A and B are shown apart, each in its own frame.
Chain A
Amino acid sequence: MSNTAAAHYTSTGLDTRKIAFWTFIGSECLLFGTLISTYLVYEGRSVVGPTTQEILNLPLTTISTFVLLMSSLAMVLALAAVTSGDRKYSIVWLATTALLGLVFLGFQVVEFTEFVHEGLTISTNLFGSTFFTLTGCHGLHVAVGVIWLTTLTILAFRDKLGPEKAMNVEICGLYWHFVDVVWIVIFTVVYLLQRGGIR
């Protein structure tokens, strides 16, 4: 095999970056799994309030969840646009994804601020500690994703995101969808399945 061919040879036929990224996602599953398990183990064991029933705002969070789900749709469209070399819609959909992600974060900021005003901080009780750590960690991941998407948008704007760069967008998409799936689990466990009360 010539040395030029050798440079592109892979054992599986898959892109090495994609394989590495899936490994990263596997690792992140353990990370969020540990945070979610801790949340579940400690649910309902706070000694003082506020409790989940008293403070969680289901309607508001349903809207933000919907926003995040829509952002995943935008991401799919973005990848399609980049793959087919459509500069205009690459910019549009990448920017939309980032924007929707930012909106989701905005909702979280509002929610957190509201909670603090109502007397729930990260140190108030077990619920505060587990809730803010879990959703805060997720929010951090969303923020990193927004930065990533913004960078890709700018690259697309500067004509540096042609179809040959589609793998970069696909991997960003993997990340973004993963973060979305984690949110679905968090939303279900924390907001929908509330069993919280005071011990």
Chain B
Amino acid sequence: MGTAATAHSMIQHAGSPTGIWSWITTTDHKRIGILYGVSAFVFFLVGGLEALIMRAQLMKADNTLVSAEAFNQLFTMHGTTMIFLAVMPLSAAFFNFVVPLQIGARDVAFPRLNAFSYWVFLLGALFLNSSFIFGAAPNGGWFGYANLTSAQYSPGMNIDFWALGLQILGIASLAAGFNFIATIINMRAPGMKMMRMPIFTWMTLVTQILVVTAFPVITVALVFLTFDRLFGTNFYNVAAGGDVLLWQHLFWLFGHPEVYIIILPTMGIVSEVLPTFSRKPLFGYAVVVYSGCLIGIIGWGVWSHHMFAVGLGPIADTYFSGMTMLIAIPTGVKIFNWIATMWGGQVRYTTSMLFAIGFVAMFIIGGISGVMHSAATSDLQQTDTYFVVAHFHYVLFGGAVMGLFAGIYYWWPKIFGRLLSEPLGKVHFWMMAIGSMVTFFPMHWIGMLGMPRRVYTYSAELGLESSNFAATIGSFIIGLSMLLFVFNIIRSVRRGPIAGRNPWGAATLEWATSSPPPVYNFSILPEVHSLHPLWTEGGVNAIPDEPPGPVHVPGGSYWPLVTAIGVIIFFLAPLLHMLWPALVGGALTVFAAFNWAFEPFEM
């Protein structure tokens, strides 16, 4: 029992069991967070590989490195993987590990449901990627527009893998959403009012509210698509009076909140990292909270800015243009508050801080191109071209991914008890920063000079070969930087320096525990009196190393995994057009759920 300042392997800590079975049956939020993090990172590399192949194909005009069909599968899977299998679960890794610690709780509200979310995610990710084995990887784009995705125009299994895979992943996200909302609302330590919550926890709350409201919409859209393909329903069937636009509206009603689901947690991370390494509190905490909430709400009102070329009419176009411009305001306010946080501080250039600063710098550019898109008439030139590819990669890669790396370098010592190498980290940062500028900046003019997106090749006559070549070079620089990162983490696992409780001198509760934390998180429940518990005299009560008496820690359970397996089996039915998997899978799910409900398990 005790601190991490021992030679134990970094996964083992106070009272925690070891071995594969303990990981399969774990309900500990810290372990689930690690599972999410490792899986998501693997898929991030897969998605990155898909990108590198695409960039290699596009490095010269009329190239024949990969076929048209292969390329179309690559860009579909790259987008789907990065959004659903990499960035969202990497954020989930942090929700899981960090949020209960930040609010002074022992675990999340429903630990087994938490495990269930992870297993469904993993099995769903494998389901989706198994399509490659069948040579039928999804090929309709990550946004799968009807009626290209209909059985008539996409007769193979590709779209079925996609639609069903997303449904499975949706179940995981929804379950986690209910879990985290209940956790954050009801399990905060005494004294932690809502406006004393760490900003990362706040952004997590807003994100989860977006998840539980937006995912039902895409669920319905995908059910309609699956039913059209499987049962001949008419939701997107023009001949029967249906409208292909129904898909677009439903998809983007989900899709726009989805991009805020992606960015808000990383904004939360940056909002934690910047104050720590400026030795100053976050400037305008309340305003940053409110602007996050406002972004979440307004984010529901802008969806058809993805549809300016559809011909919705001037009234709709005016409304969506206006609302999109409006959302730039709370976003800008956040950026100003971040800069003001560093202003007048003592700024330490740790790797984590570099990534956070990089986030702000790149997000400014991505936000600016976003405002350019908001003007519908000029967007008619920009939409569906490489200009918009530039825009969203600046906010998603330069923004979200950099934010996630800021989080990784920040919380790694807390999670594993050892520090990552700062020099290697800094090289990683600079390679990634330079690589992304070289990759994505040219895409602004590549698009404005006439190259549409989602094209496996282009004519040399466009005059864009050298720019495309430059972008490809940049992408390989990014790839190399990832290899460096992998080397860094392997090295840290083996012989990184011991981290100690609070290597960064941060303010929030997770830094009050040992690194890694004991299995029960806090030896006694914290009582909080300040927004910055560890920076304020008397901000939190003293937390002894050892608990005064025995602490009950729930054991593991295998029912979440079994239930998840039942769910996957069920989804084989519409994939393979067979009935029995639905019966077997359904029965297994119900059986497992009953066992889950009735097994003795106490928090």
Residues on A lying within 8 angstroms of B by beta carbon are 1-3, 6-7, 9-12, 14, 16-17, 19-20, 23-24, 26-28, 30-31, 34-35, 38, 41-42, 45-48, 122-123, 125-126, 128-130, 133, 147, 151, 199
Q: B239 contacts which of A24, A27, A42, A47 (Cβ < 8 Å)?
A: A47
| B177 / chain A contacts, CB cutoff of 8 Å | 23, 27
In the assembled complex, the CB of A185 is this many whole angstroms from the nearest CB of chain B, namely: 16
- Chain B's closest residue to A11 (CB) is B188
Overall SS of chain A's interface: helix
Q: A122 contacts which of B178, B187, B231 (Cβ < 8 Å)?
A: B231
| B188 / chain A contacts, CB cutoff of 8 Å | 11
- Chain A's closest residue to B525 (CB) is A6
Q: How many pairs, one residue from A and one from B, have CB atoms within 8 Å of each other in the complex?
A: 126
Query: Nearest 8 A-B pairs (CB), nearest first?
Result: A123-B232, A20-B182, A31-B216, A129-B233, A6-B525, A30-B216, A34-B220, A27-B212
Q: How far is the CA of A30 from the CA of B219 in the complex (A)?
A: 10
Q: B224 contacts which of A2, A28, A48, A133 (Cβ < 8 Å)?
A: A133
Q: B241 contacts which of A6, A19, A46 (Cβ < 8 Å)?
A: A46
Q: Tell me if A20 and B179 are in contact (CB < 8 A).
A: yes
Q: Tell me how many residues of B have a C-beta within 8 Å of chain A.
A: 51
Q: How far is the CA of A189 from the CA of B239 in the complex (A)?
A: 25
Q: A20 contacts which of B109, B227, B235, B547 (Cβ < 8 Å)?
A: B109
| A34 / chain B contacts, CB cutoff of 8 Å | 216-217, 220-221, 250
Q: How far is the CA of A48 from the CA of B237 in the complex (A)?
A: 13
Q: How far is the CA of A25 from the CA of B220 in the complex (A)?
A: 16
Q: Tell me if A20 and B181 are in contact (CB < 8 A).
A: yes
In the assembled complex, the CB of A18 is this many whole angstroms from the nearest CB of chain B, namely: 9
Q: Tell me if B551 and A19 are in contact (CB < 8 A).
A: no
In the assembled complex, the CB of A24 is this many whole angstroms from the nearest CB of chain B, namely: 5
- Chain B's closest residue to A1 (CB) is B525
| B148 / chain A contacts, CB cutoff of 8 Å | none
- Chain A's closest residue to B194 (CB) is A11
B390 within 8 Å of A (CB atoms): no
- Chain A's closest residue to B192 (CB) is A11
In the assembled complex, the CB of A127 is this many whole angstroms from the nearest CB of chain B, namely: 9
In the assembled complex, the CB of B525 is this many whole angstroms from the nearest CB of chain A, namely: 4
Q: Tell me if B223 and A47 are in contact (CB < 8 A).
A: no
The 22 listed contacts between A and B (C-beta, < 8 Å) are A1-B524, A1-B525, A3-B551, A6-B106, A6-B524, A16-B109, A19-B181, A20-B181, A26-B213, A27-B212, A30-B216, A34-B216, A35-B220, A38-B220, A45-B241, A47-B240, A47-B241, A125-B240, A125-B241, A129-B235, A133-B224, A147-B590
Q: How far is the CA of A11 from the CA of B110 in the complex (A)?
A: 16
Q: How far is the CA of A42 from the CA of B548 in the complex (A)?
A: 64
| B235 / chain A contacts, CB cutoff of 8 Å | 38, 129-130
Q: Tell me if B227 and A129 are in contact (CB < 8 A).
A: yes
In the assembled complex, the CB of B228 is this many whole angstroms from the nearest CB of chain A, namely: 8
Q: B603 contacts which of A7, A11, A125 (Cβ < 8 Å)?
A: A7
| A26 / chain B contacts, CB cutoff of 8 Å | 212-213
Q: Tell me if B234 and A123 are in contact (CB < 8 A).
A: yes
| B231 / chain A contacts, CB cutoff of 8 Å | 122-123
Q: How far is the CA of A177 from the CA of B220 in the complex (A)?
A: 22
Q: Tell me if A19 and B185 are in contact (CB < 8 A).
A: yes
- Which of A7, A10, A20, A125 is most buried by chain B, counting CB atoms within 10 A of its CB? A20
Q: Tell me if A30 and B213 are in contact (CB < 8 A).
A: yes
Given contacts A126-B240, A133-B233, contact A3 B548 (CB under 8 A): yes
B576 within 8 Å of A (CB atoms): no
B389 within 8 Å of A (CB atoms): no
B186 within 8 Å of A (CB atoms): yes
B549 within 8 Å of A (CB atoms): yes
Given contacts A1-B527, A26-B213, A47-B239, contact A20 B178 (CB under 8 A): yes
B552 within 8 Å of A (CB atoms): yes
| B214 / chain A contacts, CB cutoff of 8 Å | 30
B174 within 8 Å of A (CB atoms): yes
In the assembled complex, the CB of B307 is this many whole angstroms from the nearest CB of chain A, namely: 16
| A19 / chain B contacts, CB cutoff of 8 Å | 181-182, 185-186
B135 within 8 Å of A (CB atoms): no
Q: B174 contacts which of A3, A27, A199 (Cβ < 8 Å)?
A: A27
